[in-house]
């Protein structure tokens, strides 16, 4: 895998919007996030089409991809931070310059719909990418947990996932090692087959979902699609994150309902990633180890920034 360079105080962070448009309240939220990051000693550079809404529901795929390509090309920019999530970052896939990205490796981070983009970049280029807080969320979170996790990973190079004392549950015991991939369940489901699919072989799969948009039966639908297409025959383990639905049915129950007793890999659960206040930064493409005998049941095995 290609490991990007650390972020240093004084470096320039490029902000792009590969998913939903930056409109209305988002504009002020971005200003607040920018102010916070600048006060910490970083420079912030907005992409050319950051505030574009050409289609009325987002900027065009070409505009989005142009911004991403340009940020990777720009020697001044040391990290690319995705502004917010949404529904269609996958529209960029055919317009991204994967060779350019591979030859200009740098940190790119985001969560929710952005995990579609980051997983595809890792698949196509072998660049380690990151599931972590979006740029806008720096301003809208009630605490600094997720922002601090980003600083810890990108500036300090820490391999610690989350903070000391966080609760992990064993859903199925075991030990496994593999590269980490995944993110939002609905988006991961979209990367299972076809021209723009990712390789699940020998991977540790992390999954979370936004309960506001995805009821338990739909989460079940996504997981059965993955099961029917052989995903769970290939992976080494599953790490389940946040999911909150008004029914009270947890994602771990849905996962276990779908998997039954057919698989022997370990499955763990924590609440430190996903659509929640506590978003640790998970490197996509880095090797990790699940060990259900330990208190903190997953650990990173290799550097994700250098």
- pLDDT of 101 reads 98
- pLDDT of 141 reads 94
Helical spans, DSSP H, in the chain: 25-39, 61-73, 98-103, 114-125, 137-140, 145-154, 185-189, 216-228, 231-234, 251-259
C-alpha dist (Å) from residue 291 to 85, 132, 304:
31, 23, 20
- pLDDT of 95 reads 98
| Number of neighbours of residue 305 by Cβ within 10 angstroms | 22
- pLDDT of 159 reads 97
- pLDDT of 12 reads 98
Does pTM surpass 0.95?
yes
- pLDDT of 42 reads 98
- pLDDT of 60 reads 98
CATH 3.50.30.60 range(s) for the chain read 168-300
**Closest C-alpha among 259, 131, 136 to residue 207:** 131
Percent over 90 (pLDDT), the chain: 100
The CATH number of domain 168-300 is 3.50.30.60: yes
- pLDDT of 202 reads 98
- pLDDT of 213 reads 93
- pLDDT of 161 reads 96
CATH 3.40.50.10740 range(s) for the chain read 12-154
Looking at the domain covering 12-154, what would its CATH class be? alpha beta
Q: Span 145-163, mean pLDDT?
A: 97
- Rounded to 5°, angle at Cα 197 from 196 and 199: 145
Instruction: Tell me the pLDDT tens digit for each residue of 27-65.
Output: 999 999 999 999 999 999 999 999 999 999 999 999 999
Residue 271 pLDDT class (50, 70, 90 cuts): very high
Average pLDDT across the chain, whole number: 97
Q: Which residues pair with 15 in a beta bridge?
A: 46, 81
Instruction: Tell me the pLDDT tens digit for each residue of 103-127.
Output: 999 999 999 999 999 999 999 999 9
Reading the block at residue 86, the tokens are 């949404």
């Amino acid at each position: 895998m290609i490991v990007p360079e650390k972020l240093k105080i004084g470096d320039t962070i490029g902000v792009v919007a590969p998913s939903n448009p930056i409109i209305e309240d988002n504009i002020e939220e971005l200003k607040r996030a920018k102010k916070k990051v600048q006060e910490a000693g970083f420079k912030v550079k907005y992409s050319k089409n950051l505030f574009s809404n050409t289609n009325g529901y987002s900027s065009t795929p070409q505009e989005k991809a142009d911004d991403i390509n340009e940020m990777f090309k720009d020697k001044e920019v040391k990290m690319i931070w995705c502004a917010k999530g949404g529904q269609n970052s996958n529209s960029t896939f055919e317009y991204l310059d994967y060779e350019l990205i591979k030859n200009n490796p740098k940190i790119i981070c985001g969560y929710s719909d952005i995990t579609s983009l980051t997983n595809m970049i890792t698949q196509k280029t072998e660049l380690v990418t990151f599931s972590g807080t979006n740029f806008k969320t720096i301003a809208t979170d009630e605490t600094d947990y997720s922002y601090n996790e980003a600083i810890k990973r990108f500036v300090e190079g820490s391999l610690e996932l989350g903070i000391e004392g966080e609760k992990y549950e064993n859903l199925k015991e075991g030990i496994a090692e593999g590269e980490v991939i995944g993110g939002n369940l609905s988006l991961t489901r979209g990367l299972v087959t076809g021209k723009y699919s990712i390789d699940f072989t020998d991977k540790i799969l992390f999954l979370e979902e936004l309960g506001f948009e995805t009821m338990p039966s739909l989460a079940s639908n996504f997981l059965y699609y993955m099961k029917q297409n052989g995903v769970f025959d290939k992976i080494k383990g599953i790490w389940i994150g946040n999911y909150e639905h008004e029914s009270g049915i947890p994602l771990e129950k849905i996962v276990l309902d779908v998997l039954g007793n057919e698989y022997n890999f370990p499955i763990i659960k924590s609440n430190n990633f996903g659509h929640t206040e506590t978003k640790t930064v998970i490197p996509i493409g880095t090797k990790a180890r699940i060990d259900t005998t330990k208190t903190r049941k997953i650990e990173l095995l290799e550097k994700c920034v250098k």
